[in-house]
Amino acid sequence: MLEGEQGRAVRKSMEILTTLGTIYGAERLIPISSVQIAGVSYDNLGEAGLAFLQEMADGGGKARVLTTLNPAGMDVENWQALGISPEFAEKQARVLEAFGRMDVVVTCTCTPYLSGNLPHFGEHIAWAESSAVCFANSVIGARTNREGGPSALASALTGLTPAYGYHLDENRRPSLSVQVEARIEGTAQFGALGKVIGEELQADQLKPVSFITGVERASLEELKSFSASLATYGGAALFHMQGITPEAGLHSTPGQTLRIAQADLEEAGQALNDAAPEEVDFISLGCPHLSLQEIAHLAQLLEGQHVEREFWITTARPTKQIADRMGYTRVIEASGARFSVDTCCVVAPIKGRFKALATDSAKACYYAYAKNGFKTAFMPFDDVVRLALRPQSG
Ligand code: F3S
């Protein structure tokens, strides 16, 4: 592969992987079974990124394992209605076309595990989206490092990844014990918990594998919210949660303990609330992308209602298609809320369009401010919906 016998794209891919492996001291390359590529929005890629993808496609690159994409910068089928410019849409379409030529499945979602890209326990994979990496490592027990866009593509085109980091047993052991002494419920609270723990990991420069005790139950939706937040605020790619995640039982509790009380969660939530409710001009649910159960719940809340502010629901295309069939889409769209599929409120090019975002996602709050300069209002899922029903001045 490195000598170019299998084409230019494979040679380039192998150069990327061997360089990474050398930097991180990997002794070998290992086969992987699944890839998820981030850096799909033209807003992030720009011309240089697009040119790289086209070069790889022209060089004969073909995905050798199941490979899916992170959200793009627009709803591929409905971009006009969401205010995306034709120039941007044209560039984004070329990005997706290049991926398609490489046999990458152009399902654009940060929750690939809900849309057919679901590895099993112990499987080696190469995923890039930070929330999905944290979910796959922790909740599923698959093994992946947090890949960049080029290294994930390189793994797709070769079916290999260097064996270092979270692929190895020794790096999956917890080093910090976290005792949760609060009742945690709902996606927002799990997001706040991820922020509290994540910021400790950053502050202490600890190897960020935490062993969390005291959480009695956690739904899939709560775990995806927590994974996204822990990855955002702590750069973490793996955690263990006693009684909930599969590898927790393999480890003993590390000595060093962090205790988290209700007040810590409240403080974390307040830190994400600098927008007054009447200032909010943009509402979004679906960071990470909504599951079908969340969409069903949303349809219940919006039945017969009318939303008063710009309200985006972000999810994966396959999930939306089931929502269509179940009748949820009709109820939700009748309220005036809009589906924004294949994309999200962070990767879409909406800087300058809004001033303040309301959401249940701690991760979305971070990027709404960091990327777009929006103020944020952070609250539970149902409260976000209630706010959408109130006029902006009310
Ligand atoms: Fe997904 Fe976008 Fe949030 S990629 S995790 S919805 S920032």
* pLDDT tens sequence across 291-313: 999 999 999 999 999 999 999 99
| Minimal-distance CA residue to ligand 1 atom 1 | 288
| Minimal-distance CA residue to ligand 1 atom 2 | 344
- In the structure encoding, which two tokens stand for residue 387, read together? 């706010």
Query: How many C-beta atoms surround the C-beta of residue 38 within 10 A?
Result: 22
Torsional class of 379: left (φ above 0), alpha (ψ -120 to 50), beta (otherwise): beta
Query: How many C-beta atoms surround the C-beta of residue 126 within 10 A?
Result: 32
**pLDDT digit of tens for each residue in the chain (394 aa)?**
999 999 999 999 999 999 999 999 999 999 999 999 999 999 999 999 999 999 999 999 999 999 999 999 999 999 998 889 999 999 999 999 999 999 999 999 999 999 999 999 999 999 999 999 999 999 999 999 999 999 999 999 999 999 999 999 999 999 899 999 999 999 999 999 999 999 998 776 656 799 999 999 999 999 999 999 999 999 999 999 999 999 999 988 888 789 999 999 999 999 999 999 999 999 999 999 999 999 999 999 999 999 999 999 999 999 999 999 999 999 999 999 999 999 999 999 999 999 999 999 999 999 999 999 999 999 999 999 999 999 987 5
Q: Do domains 8-168 and 277-388 have the same CATH topology?
A: yes
Domain boundaries, the chain: 8-168, 173-271, 277-388
Exposure string for 196-217, b = 16+ CB within 10 A, e = fewer: bbbebbeeeebebbbbbbbbee
What does the alpha-carbon distance between residue 275 and residue 268 come to, in Å, rounded to a whole number? 15
How would DSSP label each residue in 58-121? HTT---SSEEEE---SS-TTTTGGGT--HHHHHHHHHHHHHHHHTT-EEEE-S-GGGTT----T
What is the length of the chain? 394
- In the structure encoding, which two tokens stand for residue 311, read together? 């309200």
pLDDT at 255: 82
What does the alpha-carbon distance between residue 133 and residue 111 come to, in Å, rounded to a whole number? 10
314 CA closest ligand 1 atom index? 6
* The residue type at 27: E
- Identify whether the C-beta of residue 148 lies closer than 8 Å to the C-beta of residue 127: no
pLDDT at 207: 62
Q: pTM above 0.95?
A: yes
Residue among 68, 74, 110, 376 whose CB has most ligand 1 atoms within 8 A, to mutate = 110
* pLDDT tens sequence across 204-221: 665 679 999 999 999 999
SS3 content of the chain, % helix, strand, coil (to 5): 45, 20, 35
Query: Pocket around ligand 1: residues whose beta carbon is below 6 Å from it?
Result: 70-71, 110, 131, 228, 287-289, 314, 344, 346-347, 363-364, 367
List the one residue out of 324, 197, 319, 309 whose CA is nearest residue 257.
197
- Whole-number Å distance, alpha carbon 132 to ligand 1 midpoint, is 9
* pLDDT tens sequence across 109-125: 999 999 999 999 999 99
361 CA closest ligand 1 atom index? 3
60's CB contacts (< 8 A; 6+ apart) are 7, 8, 9, 10
Q: Is 277-388 in CATH node 3.40.120.10?
A: no
- Identify whether the C-beta of residue 319 lies closer than 8 Å to the C-beta of residue 292: yes
34-37 vs 66-69, strand pairing mode: parallel
- Write down the CATH superfamily of domain 8-168: Aconitase, domain 3 (3.30.499.10)
pLDDT at 202: 73
